[in-house]
């Protein structure tokens, strides 16, 4: 399974490097995962919002990756380099919209969700983003969910700068099982006891490795470690806002 993490100048470094480390760690632990950091056009170096410079792995091509993770950063500051600037220029938007047609999962980390919204991928669906962008997300017509990670089937989003780690752990659990997610969390120094309680529509409580996941079930059994063949409805936890830095 190929995972492409979308990167660009001005991104919040944690949005990319957190998910990358979790997923590459899961790959070393046995998951059939290959993870790349990809730019829109060939680029020798990417410079993050806090000055980190790194070499990307390649160039994004719609249709190649099974899972696409879109990073955020620079939205609150309305920075030209960052998610806000990328939305204003619009170059990423048709590429993401095209890729979403065949990807298994499209994920937005923090204000990376805003790129997905402006690409027309979210529409009125349930989604999360950084708390400082809640109003902006709602203005696009999306249904705002104030949770750490929101799973809406082939759309998974998160809110908070460090939420990319939680989102990645959730995707590992969903695609490869709770045991691997827990082993990955332990290896990376994240307590697998950061489990949240999921309240199903019929009142049964379940737990999973990633904290604060709100999950919409559409008659499928997406994700291991959760009840299979749910009949529909919402599984959610309290949406406590995290005190992350602006992104």
Helix (H) or strand (E) holding 235: strand 233-235
Domain-embedded: residue 241: no
Record the tokens describing residue 118, joined without a space: 């402006």
SS (H, E, C) 170-187: HHHHHHHCHHHHHHHHHH
Record the tokens describing residue 139, joined without a space: 């203005």
CATH number, residue 27: 3.40.50.880
Record the tokens describing residue 155, joined without a space: 């759309």
Domain total of the chain: 1
Summarised one tens digit per residue, pLDDT across range 125-160 is 999 999 999 999 999 999 999 999 999 999 999 999
Say what the pLDDT of residue 205 is: 38
Using 50, 70 and 90 to split pLDDT, how confident is the model at 243? very low
Record the tokens describing residue 21, joined without a space: 């480390």
- Tokens 């750490």 locate to 148
- Show the domain range for 63: 2-235
Using 50, 70 and 90 to split pLDDT, how confident is the model at 236? very low
Q: CA-CA distance, 212 to 226, in Å (whole number)?
A: 14
Say what the pLDDT of residue 222 is: 31
Domain-embedded: residue 141: yes
226: left (phi over 0), alpha (psi -120 to 50) or beta: beta
- Structure pTM? 0.83
Domain-embedded: residue 246: no
Domain-embedded: residue 247: no
Domain-embedded: residue 245: no
Q: Is a pLDDT exceeding 50 seen at residue 230?
A: no
Q: Is a pLDDT exceeding 70 seen at residue 161?
A: yes
Domain-embedded: residue 242: no
Q: Mean pLDDT score of the chain, rounded to an integer? A: 84
Domain-embedded: residue 124: yes
Helix (H) or strand (E) holding 67: strand 67-70
Q: CA-CA distance, 212 to 136, in Å (whole number)?
A: 22
Domain-embedded: residue 240: no
């Amino acid at each position: 399974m190929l995972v492409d993490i979308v990167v660009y100048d001005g991104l919040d470094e944690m949005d990319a490097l957190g998910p990358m480390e979790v997923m590459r760690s899961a790959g070393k632990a046995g998951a059939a995962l290959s993870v790349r950091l990809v730019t829109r056009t060939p680029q020798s170096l990417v410079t993050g919002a806090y000055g980190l410079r790194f070499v990307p792995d390649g160039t994004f091509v719609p249709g190649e990756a099974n899972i696409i993770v879109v990073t955020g950063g620079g939205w609150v500051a309305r920075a030209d380099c960052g998610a806000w600037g990328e939305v204003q220029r619009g170059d990423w938007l048709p590429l993401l919209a095209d890729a979403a047609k065949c990807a298994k999962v499209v994920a937005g980390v923090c204000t990376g969700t805003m790129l997905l919204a402006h690409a027309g991928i979210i529409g009125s669906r349930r989604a999360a983003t950084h708390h400082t962008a809640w109003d902006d997300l709602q203005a696009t017509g999306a249904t705002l969910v104030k949770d750490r990670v929101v799973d809406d089937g082939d759309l998974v989003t998160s809110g908070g700068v460090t939420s990319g780690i939680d989102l990645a752990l959730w995707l590992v659990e969903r695609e490869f099982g709770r045991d691997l997610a827990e082993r990955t969390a332990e290896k990376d120094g994240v307590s697998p006891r950061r489990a949240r309680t999921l309240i199903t529509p019929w009142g049964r409580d379940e737990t999973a490795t990633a904290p604060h996941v709100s999950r919409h079930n559409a008659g499928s059994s997406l994700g291991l470690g959760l009840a299979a063949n749910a009949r529909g409805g919402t599984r959610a936890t309290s949406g406590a806002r995290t005190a992350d830095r602006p992104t």
